[in-house]
Amino acid sequence: MARVLNWQLGREMTYPYEGAYPERQFAFVFNINRCIACQSCTMACKSTWTFSKGQEHMWWANVETKPYGGYPMFWDVKILELLERANPGGQRWSGQPSRDPKAPYGRFEGRTVFEAERMLTPDSARVLGYLPTDEEWNSPNIYEDNPVGEKGKPFSWSKTGEQLPEHKTWFFYLARICNHCTYPACLAACPRKAIYKRPEDGIVLVDQQECRGYRKCVEACPYKKVMYRGNTRIAEKCIACYPRIEGKDPEGGGKPLQTRCMTACIGQIRLQGLVKINRDGTWAEDRYHPLYYLVHVAKVALPLYPQFGTVPNGYYIPPRWVPRPYLRQMFGPGVDQAIERYENPDRELTAVLQLFNRAREIVYAYKILEGPKVYEGTLRGRRVTLYNDTVIAYGKDGEELFRTTVEEPVHVRPAVHANSI
């Protein structure tokens, strides 16, 4: 076992291989506050990659309703329980979120899926995990839209149900794809070394020629984002639409495009990019890259279950209305700071949030042009001032992709078309 730096946990950890990092890493930010569970992303992926015989149960991209939903069923509850058994009471964070890029969320003291030695069996020697049953794969988004609990109280069904005007119950939508992890558990577990991480963009792929369908990857991935195809007896997973990332999709005219799930997103919750990586696996400073800004400067976007230890490259702006203990176990100790910042955005954050899914091309940098003051007043008891700034997005070669303003233009449908739906 090698020792590698896990910056999301603020410490080194064991991993079966030495760290090897791409020049740029495929990464994304999802703003949960905006997701409406329309499933356009899910279907964009399904209709592109998993529409064939043997792939019926496969949803490389899915949107589940939390806390009850899950695909496969209860995937996160199950792996969290296994980690707890491996390290009873030890899954804790120490220290405080800080500016240190090697420990921005403090230090995680518990064991990761690679370190839970006492739980590892000869059958799953490298990574703590479990193999979901067929039934668990069969119900994507079971309990969709089911609310639960009352704010500030232990989880339970609300006795009064959902009541207007105040919603006492809560749920939220969690959109998920493979996180193309920096330390992939799927790769670590594969006895045939059939899974690899591309040096140019960090995308994690299964070599279909080498795979023999042992399903060690399915068992090991804590996010359950590798799936087994029964008719070919080979594992398959999200490929990050790599032809689009490479600029080979004819739609893009040679430019790198965001994945299908990103560009299909109606809620404009998604922003995908390629971030610069240092030689130790941390993110290189790239001040005007929108993902660098959201994750490392504004710190509004947090990794999903960082305690698993894989350094997932999917980041989430947590939902404002959900009880904090639930969010802290899901996104780590940065939750309170992230929500505070998101609820009270400064000019720069307000502008950068406009970049989400305004174009298909991948954004490499942004610039803000200051605009006039358009609003001054109070929001939730605080003074707010809103400026109609313009944010300009730049592509791979520094070309301008698009520009957009904070204040969305209002289009009034001409009366002649008023009832033309």
Which amino acid, 45?
Answer: C
Query: Can you tell me which of 10, 67, 149, 267 binds ligand SF4, judged by CB under 6 A?
Result: 267
Would you say 227 or 338 has its CB closer to ligand SF4? 227
Between 223 and 331, name the residue whose CB sits nearer to ligand SF4.
223
Using rule CB under 6 A, residue 266 touches ligand SF4: yes
Distance from the Cα of residue 285 to its chain's centroid: 21
**Which stretch, 180-188, 272-280, 342-350, 374-382, contacts ligand SF4 (CB under 6 A)?**
180-188
25 or 394, CB closer to ligand SF4? 25
| CA atoms of 173 and 79, how far apart (whole Å) | 20
Q: Which residue is nearest to ligand SF4 (CB)?
A: 267
| Closest CB to ligand SF4 among residues 38, 119 | 38
Q: How far apart are CA 277 and CA 197, in angstroms?
A: 14
Q: What is the DSSP string of 373-400?
A: EEEEEEETTEEEEEE--EEEEE-TTS-E
Contact range with ligand SF4 by CB under 6 A, out of 11-19, 81-89, 262-270, 402-410: 262-270
Among 29, 35, 73, 317, binds ligand SF4 (CB under 6 A): 35
Token pair of 193, please? 């070394």
Q: Decide whether 220 or 391 has the Cβ nearer to ligand SF4.
A: 220
Q: Is 41 in the site for ligand SF4 (CB under 6 A)?
A: yes
Distance CA 389, CA 351 (A): 7
| Footprint on residues 306-335 left by ligand SF4 (CB under 6 A) | 310
**Cβ-Cβ contacts under 8 Å for 298 (sequence gap 6 or more):** 341, 348, 349, 352
What residues between 219 and 238 interact with ligand SF4 by CB under 6 A? 221, 223, 225-226, 237
CA dihedral sign, ordered 310, 316, 322, 324: positive
Q: Is 190 in the site for ligand SF4 (CB under 6 A)?
A: no
Handedness of CA 44, 203, 109, 31 (dihedral sign): negative
Scan for tokens 């043997």, then name that residue: 54
**N-terminal to C-terminal alpha carbon distance within the chain:** 62
The DSSP H or E segment spanning 153 is none
Query: How far is the C-alpha of 74 from the C-alpha of 82, rounded, in Å?
Result: 12
Cβ 40 to ligand SF4, closest distance in Å?
Answer: 4
Give, for 42, the enclosing helix (H) or strand (E).
helix 40-49
Nearer to ligand SF4, 40 or 329 (CB): 40
> In the set 27, 37, 73, 103, which binds ligand SF4 (CB under 6 A)?
37
* Binder among 10, 132, 149, 184 for ligand SF4 (CB under 6 A): 184
With contacts defined by CB under 6 A, name the span among 2-10, 75-83, 134-142, 179-187 that binds ligand SF4.
Answer: 179-187
Q: Does 39 bind ligand SF4 (CB under 6 A)?
A: yes
Residue 275 · residue 266 · CB < 8 Å: no
Residues near ligand SF4, by CB under 6 A: 35-41, 63, 173, 175, 178-181, 184-186, 204, 221, 223, 225-226, 237, 264-267, 269, 310
